[in-house]
Amino acid sequence: MIGIGIIGSGAIAQAHANAFKEFEDRCEVLAVCDLYVDKAQVLIEKNGLKNAKAYKEIEEVLALKGIDAISICLPPSTHAEAAIKALEAGKHVLVEKPMATSLAECDAMIAAAEKSGKVLSPVAQNRFKTPNYRIKTMIQGGEAGKVLYAAVNSLWWRGTSYHDIWWRGTWDVECGGSVTSQAVHHLDLLLWMLGRPDSVTGIISNVAHDNSECEDLGMAIMEYPGMLVQFTASIVNHDELQELIFQTDRGRLSVPWATASSKALPNGFPQEDTETKDRLQKLYESIPALKREGHPAQVHNFLSVIEGKESLQITGKDGRAALEMIMAVYKSAQSREAVELPIANDDIFYSKESWTRTMPRFHQKTRSIENFTTSEITLGRNVGK
């Protein structure tokens, strides 16, 4: 039985608690840690974690003999410190997105995992969604044709009170706005499906959230050999339409799923190619659905790796790659120039202390509260449909 400690009892911790409970024959949550111990106790009672106790400090949890792995559900700026402490204490680590707040921190986490021999897995639960898996399979298998153009839209809506909690809306703690906190999922999916681009040209702004230093709207163009990707990260879209669209030389593929195909009339104008469209539809439907999806699927892999039954599907290098894309958008927005990848270790956007100092403060944070009265959140609406 694998003993689990959940570090942080905020909104996303509920998803982790639910996921671990699905595998009660293989693991058990024995500790929940939060600076506000009463919040940790609420999570324990709400989820019926009968053998779990609430703790205030991570060191208390790491000292427990029965803890084999921890699940980090803390604000982004504390991910690296907590993960490295856990790895050095001989614990496996599942860490929420973004993996860390700098490439330097990512490298330190990866090094700590390699030295300890323990598992380090950043959360990227949307890889474990059937539509995303099917699209990746179609693209990488080549049956759907060569991708010519893609549009990645991470579109959400958040009210101005969203940033009132103490750690949000700050470069030092949240370390970014819509590009970091929301679009990291879509950037990870893009990397998973198409790989890393050669260069990124980005721009960011804050158009509607007066209690945040960071952006609420960001856009970028990513250049690949023979292909362009258009990327948008927003928290001002009321319909919250989240989508990935791939236009190949044979047809359209997208999440949420839709397909289309055109062939040329003699004058070059389009005519619907029903034969190819039907073939793409059948190919999509022929790819088996995943047995598990979302957080439970990633937790299943995490536990299986610890048990020596599977290989790790989402590694520290994957988490680092997603953060590198975020850094590229920010660096380009700041310099007003295209940024070539990879970002070097001597670049100011490698270390948190240097890159956060360069970023614009769109607004001064003037409202700060310790906790919201409700911890309910919504996850992606369309990214897995």
3-state secondary structure 259-299: CECEEECCCCCEEECHHHHHHHHHHHHHCCCCCCCHHHHHH
Q: Token match 């059937």: residue? A: 130
Would residue 223 count as lying in a domain? yes
CA distance 252 to 259: 5
Task: Kindly state whether residues 114 and 141 are assigned to the same domain.
Answer: no
- From 260, 280, 315, give the residue that closes a domain: 315
Provide the pLDDT for residue 376.
Answer: 59
Quote the distance between the C-alpha of residue 293 and its chain's center: 15
Task: Kindly state whether residues 38 and 150 are assigned to the same domain.
Answer: no
Task: Kindly state whether residues 248 and 334 are assigned to the same domain.
Answer: yes
Would residue 354 count as lying in a domain? yes
Q: Yes or no: say if 219 and 231 are a contact pair by the CB < 8 Å rule.
A: yes
- Which domain does 144 fall in, by range? 127-291+321-358
Task: Kindly state whether residues 187 and 112 are assigned to the same domain.
Answer: no
Alpha-carbon Rg for the chain, nearest whole angstrom, is 21
Task: Kindly state whether residues 25 and 38 are assigned to the same domain.
Answer: yes
Provide the pLDDT for residue 377.
Answer: 59
Give the type of residue at 102.
S
Provide the pLDDT for residue 167.
Answer: 83
Task: Kindly state whether residues 111 and 40 are assigned to the same domain.
Answer: yes
The predicted model scores a pTM of 0.94
Would residue 370 count as lying in a domain? no
Task: Kindly state whether residues 341 and 278 are assigned to the same domain.
Answer: yes
Would residue 177 count as lying in a domain? yes
Task: Compute the C-alpha angle 104/105/110, nearest 5°.
Answer: 100
Would residue 186 count as lying in a domain? yes
Q: How many domains does the chain have?
A: 2
Task: Kindly state whether residues 12 and 118 are assigned to the same domain.
Answer: yes
CA distance 382 to 217: 19
Q: Yes or no: say if 79 and 87 are a contact pair by the CB < 8 Å rule.
A: no
Task: Kindly state whether residues 351 and 275 are assigned to the same domain.
Answer: yes
CATH number at residue 17: 3.40.50.720
Would residue 80 count as lying in a domain? yes
Task: Kindly state whether residues 47 and 145 are assigned to the same domain.
Answer: no
Quote the distance between the C-alpha of residue 203 and its chain's center: 20
CA distance 368 to 48: 32
Provide the pLDDT for residue 173.
Answer: 87
User: Considering Cα of 184, then 43, then 5, then 302, what sign does the dihedral take?
Assistant: negative
Task: Kindly state whether residues 96 and 110 are assigned to the same domain.
Answer: yes
Would residue 204 count as lying in a domain? yes
CATH number at residue 157: 3.30.360.10
Low-confidence ranges of the chain (pLDDT < 70): 371-385
Helix axes 184-194 and 130-141, enclosed angle (nearest 10): 30
Would residue 18 count as lying in a domain? yes
Task: Kindly state whether residues 50 and 139 are assigned to the same domain.
Answer: no
CA distance 155 to 173: 23
